[in-house]
Structure 1
Amino acid sequence: MANLSDNSSPSAKGWWSQLAPYQRLVFIVATLAWLFDCLDQQLFNLARSPAMKSLLGDQQIINLFGKVPIAAGALATSIFVIGWATGGMIFGSLGDRYGRAKMLSVTVLLYSIATGLSALSVSFTDFAVYRFLTGLGVGGVFGLAVALVADTVPSHVRPRALGVLQSFSAVGNVAAGFIGLTIALTAIGEHENYWKWLFVIGALPAFLVATIQLRMKEPPAWTESRDRAIAQGKRSGSYRDLFGHATWRRHALLGMVLSCAGVIGLWGIGVFSSDLVGDIVTHNLTQAGATAGELNKGKQLWMSLNLLTFNVGAFAGMLLFTRIAEALGRKKAFAMFFAGSLVVTIFVFQMIGKLNGRFDILWMAPLMGFFHLSVFAGFSIYLPELFPTRLRATGVSFCYNVGRYLAALGPFTLGALAAKFGKDAQELAVKGAPADIAPNALAALKSVAKIDAFRDAASWMCLIFLLGIIVLPFLPETKGQPLPED
């Protein structure tokens, strides 16, 4: 049977018109699976802070192992990211072994159900369990969706198709921003438990599963690879085979380091820009004498605007990354955007809220999103080009997800740095304050010190982007090369 990805054309223009009807269906379903996956991630980011306040009250600290105090929001994020990494490792291997389409339906169903259950949480414990289960499903989608499209579409349009697939993750993120805005601008946003509605909405992708199960079939490339591997005594989806082969082992380890830079940068720094915005808005509204209801709505409004504009920039950045990767090569594109991420993150975290108050969010957030998420288009294009068909979902998932075990430490690291800087800054603020300062004024000084500490912590952490640049010379350039086989 002919490999659908073996077709060729002298031009990559009008790539959509060069897809057969079934190839378009595969692309649409895989893209929707990833879009809804990202919608779920961002709804969690919006819901995290109000959920912790609702479940734990003002004292949002968890004593891990009974003695290690950790901010509940950071711990919930880390648990989610650990589940994500674990799900990616498991379902990537199962996708190579039993089929991409079949496992994709399982992962979408899993994260949809677990997201819906998150709305029923009554304590931090069950909330954390639901977030871990959600992470398992969320983690499996990327490697499966990317491998499914890479094995299905013609080779000459594969980079463009995969770049566009990843770009639509920003559409899911933007949708989350609009959902957050809608809640903020309605009476729902005044209620303490408005975060539950975010999770209910996040459960809706379960309906996509029916389409996947009824219409999807495994790519001929995967079927042929599976049969060939069986005939040759090789194993599909085997981590032993992945690391037992010198070339695939090298690609897996170096690809993992490359992915770590982007994943840790986003989940250790980028997603917490909403928390910084929330703190700035809360401080400003408190100074203006806002009521509790106005604080809730105002914080939700500006956090949603931050998410919305961040991902408008991300969409443009991922499309541009795709074009540059096609024109100049994968490695040059990564180098350009990792360097941009470093510079822009320091600038934004240091200056946001200082220039035009809340309103500088409207141009600073898209600038940071443009660089932070652009490299993820590179992961979707580049990682499948490093592994053979029988190990493609396994290799892609390993690279993309194992770094999340390290990224899970990002919220702890950021929180620890912010706490250390914040404690020092607040002590200085108290020492420098007049003895007869009013309690409200002292609280305001401490609030500003906390915000500044968060800025400094994020600025130090963004040095992780240098790791992505350092590893590039050791990786192969795959521009214009066919997908590898063994």
Structure 2
Amino acid sequence: MAQTQGDQELGTITTDIPARLDRLPWARWHWIIVIGLGTVWVLDGLEVTIVGNLSDVLKDSTHGLGLSSSQIGLAGAVYVAGSCIGALFFGQLTDRFGRKKLFIITLLVYLVGTVLTAASMNPAWYFACRFITGLGIGGEYAAVNSAIDELIPAAFRGRIDITINGSYWLGAAAGSLLTIPLLDPQLVNPEFGWRFCFALGAILGVGVLFVRRNVPESPRWLFIHGREDEAEEIVGGIEKRVEHEDHVSLPDVDKTLKIRQRHTIGLTTIARTVFTEYPRRTILCLGMFIGQAFLYNAFFFTFGDTLQTFLGVGQTGWYLAAFAISNFAGALILGPLFDKVGRKIMISATYIVSGVILAIAGLLLGNLTAVTLTIFGMVAFFVASAGASSAYLTASEIFPMETRALCIAFFYAIGTAAGGISGPLLFGKLIDNASAAKDITGIAPGYYLGAALMVVGGILALFLSVDAAQKSLEDIAAPISEVE
């Protein structure tokens, strides 16, 4: 059949590639995927934590940029707005032109943004650079999550996806600890210390870029877009490497998929598929993303400012590092249960329990010290971390392959715009007002709102979540291109 452009078919093929990828045991090769793609969340965690730790120095008009608490919140909102736009822009390009091209391009955008941030000379420049950095990070969420889930075997997809998304907190912990010496005026000139903090992200990003050169294009994306020979070559190479390096003999597979190949899938087709065929899944993802985005962006973007403004903490690095480590531990420890116990129970439990704990912290806020507030945060977000990561896992695995990156981008953008932009702005305003009144309980309404949104997300999961544990992506949601 002659090849045609757009949403028209190229031909029909039968392939066993999804079954061959899913029957792979966990092997050394999969660690390349984890390191090459998963480390992006370390970069995001590094960025957000650095900004949280720099609130005091950025407020300094002599060595910093003379920002107010509201402007610190605005900078967080600008970063998140960039992430939303980047996710939508690069997400549709990821489904159109492939995972690998876009997870290289988006990383380069991030590198440019963070290097320029280090050179900020006024608030306007700083805000613009935070926006560019956010563009890159938002694009990464769409390109990287889709690639991870299409390359990781079904039996391990839940725990790996959640742990990788949870690795954000390794970056947060590293950012917290590294800012301690870099912001010490006895060790580093205050005018340059905060700039070095941003430069660290660029250094790590360059290292990630070299590792990503060894990550292949998604074979699932290739065979749908008329490049089945490349897909066969990649999967065959993976199988030989796994058998050789891990000394295993791979069983044959008999499960196949019949596909009508296309160059691209039109946005109209994608929208009709997502909203018409999967309305319950759409509502579920919106609830999950809004809840976790508000909770994290509101609480964590302003946590350092809260400690310094109300609780007399000078150096917040140790507090934020403890908070970050508990988050990563939560994703690492609870992640396997999403494959063993199931998605519905784990999603609803992590959302509801973390929301209740945060509400209790809000009620006790006037009686908490810096240490006890941090402990409350550690406990709440130990549970919330796995739940928040499961939002990305859910959006990635419950919609058809052709829509995967754009769906991740859409729900990330909508949820983050609702929770991640309004959250920092609201908390920044609450902190300013509470600071003027010298009453920390003035920020409690933000805690209550974040808690309520998480509980709502957990309740939605009880009724709408999909039984996706250890199932092939194609069984959870048939590709648009599949021949019925």
Q: TM-score of the superposition, structure 1-length normalised?
A: 0.79
Hey, what does 1:244 align to over in structure 2? 272
- CA–CA distance in 1 between the matches of 2:265 and 2:379? 39
Q: Indicate whether 1:29 and 2:36 are aligned.
A: yes
Report which stretch shifted further, 475-484 or 258-267. 475-484
Which position in structure 2 is the counterpart of 1:94?
A: 93
Cα deviations by residue, 1:8-62 (Å, 9 ceiling, x for unpaired): 56xxxxx9xx33444331222011222223222222222244224348989745x
Give SS of 1:308's match. Answer: helix
| 2:17 maps to 1:3 | yes
Q: Does 1:180 align with 2:179?
A: yes
Q: 2:317 aligns with which of 281, 304, 323?
A: 304
Distance 1:415-1:207 versus aligned 2 partners, 3 A rule = closer
* Change over 3 Å in CA distance of 1:465–1:153 after alignment to 2: closer
Name the structure where helix makes up a greater proportion of residues.
Answer: 1
Shift of 1:361: 5.0
| Distance of aligned partners of 1:162 and 1:247 in 2 relative to their CA distance in 1, 3 Å threshold | same
Which residue of structure 1 lines up, in the alignment, with residue 454 of structure 2? Answer: 465
Q: Is contact 1:143–1:394 with CA below 8 Å preserved after alignment?
A: yes
Q: Aligned equivalents of 1:122 and 1:185: distance in 2?
A: 21
Q: Output the CA distance in 2 between the equivalents of 1:203 and 1:324.
A: 34
Pick aligned residue for 2:284 from 235, 251, 254: 254
Instruction: Tell me, yes or no, if structure 1 residue 313 matches structure 2 residue 322.
Output: no
Cα distance in 2 for partners of 1:462, 1:327 equals 27
* Residues 177 and 352 (structure 1), Cα distance of their counterparts in 2 relative to 1, 3 Å cut: farther
8 Å CA contact retained: 2:22, 2:152:
no
| Other-structure match for 2:395 | 383
- Point out the more displaced range, 406-415 or 111-120: 406-415
The question of whether the paired residues in 2 share the 8 Å contact of 1:243 and 1:249 is answered with no
Greater mean alpha carbon deviation, residues 34-43 or residues 48-57? 48-57
Partner of 2:345: 332
Tell me whether 236-245 or 74-83 shows the greater mean CA deviation: 236-245
Q: What amino acid does structure 1 have at the position aligned with 2:370?
A: R
What's 1:83 paired with? 82
Of all paired residues, the percent bearing the same amino acid is: 19
Report what 1:482 is aligned to.
472
Separation of aligned partners in 2, 1:366 and 1:235:
47
SS of the aligned residue for 1:227 comes to: coil
Select between 148-157 and 47-56 the one with higher mean Cα deviation: 47-56
Which residue is equivalent to 2:232? none
Q: Which moved more, 1:37-46 or 1:334-343?
A: 37-46
Q: Separation in 1 of the partners of 2:329 and 2:118?
A: 33
Is 1:211 aligned to 2:195, yes or no? no
Bigger drift between 333-342 and 475-484 goes to 475-484
- 8 Å CA contact 2:113–2:129 kept in 1: the answer is yes
Equivalent residue letter for 1:38: G
Which residue number in structure 2 is paired with residue 295 of structure 1?
none
Q: How far apart are the structure 1 equivalents of 2:136 and 2:19? A: 27
Verify: 1:43 aligned to 2:56, yes or no: no
Q: How far is 1:96 from its partner?
A: 1.5
Structure 1 residue 367 and structure 2 residue 379: aligned? yes
Opposite residue 369 of structure 1, the aligned amino acid is F
Distance 1:205 1:106, change over 3 A: farther
User: After superposition, where does 1:160-175 map in structure 2 within 5 Å?
Assistant: 160-175=159-174
The 1:201–1:250 alpha-carbon spacing in structure 2 relative to 1, beyond 3 Å, is: same
Q: Quick one: structure 1 residues 236 and 175, their matched pair in 2 at CA, closer, same or farther if it must change by over 3 Å?
A: farther
CA contact (8 A) 2:116 2:129 kept: yes
Indicate the residue corresponding to 1:275 in structure 2.
305
Alpha-carbon offset, residue 83 of structure 1: 0.3
Unaligned runs of 5+ in 2: 1-14, 229-258, 480-484
Deviations 1:284-335 (A, max 9, x none): xxxxxxxxxxxxxx52x2x212211111111121124323322332122121
Shift of 1:277: 1.2
Mark the CA change 1:194 to 1:54 in structure 2 (over 3 Å): closer, same or farther.
farther
CA distance in structure 1 between the aligned counterparts of 2:142 and 2:210, rounded to whole angstroms: 19
Distance 1:175 1:112 in 2: 18
* Letter paired with 2:337: I
For residues 131-187 of structure 1, give each alpha carbon's deviation from its aligned partner in whole angstroms, at most 9, with x where no partner exists. 000000011112222211111122222222212212322211111111122334562
Q: Go from structure 1 to structure 2 and tell me whether the alpha carbon gap of 1:238 and 1:198 turns closer, same or farther (over 3 Å shift).
A: farther
Q: Residue 387 of structure 1 contacts residue 395 of structure 1 at CA under 8 Å; is this kept in 2?
A: yes
Shift of 1:84: 0.6
Query: What is aligned with 1:12?
Result: none
SS in 2 for 1:187: coil
Deviations 1:175-211 (A, max 9, x none): 1111122334562467255322211112213313542
Residue 127 of structure 1 is matched in structure 2 by 126
- Higher deviation after alignment, 77-86 or 137-146: 137-146
Cα distance change, pair 475–365 in 1 and its aligned pair in 2 (3 A) = closer
Paired with 1:49 and 1:455, the residues of 2 have a C-alpha distance of 22
Greater relative contact order (CA < 8 Å, ≥ 6 in sequence)? 2
The offset of 1:416, in angstroms, is 4.0
Moved more, 264-273 or 413-422: 413-422
**Which shifted more, 469-478 or 92-101?**
469-478
Partner of 2:137: 138
Question: Offset of 1:93 from its aligned partner?
Answer: 1.4
Q: CA deviation at 1:7?
A: 4.6
Does the residue aligned with 1:194 lie in a helix, a strand or coil?
Answer: helix
Stretch deviating more after TM superposition (116-125 or 132-141): 116-125
Q: Distance in 2 between matches of 1:340 and 1:24?
A: 32
Q: Which amino acid is 2:165 matched to? A: Q
Is 1:455 aligned to 2:448, yes or no? Answer: no
- Deviations along 1:215-254, one digit per CA (max 9) or x if unpaired, are 232021110122289x847564654222111224553453
Contiguous gaps of at least 5 residues in structure 1: 10-14, 62-69, 283-297, 427-446
* CA separation of 1:313 and 1:421: change in aligned 2, threshold 3 A: same
Q: Partner residue of 1:294? A: none
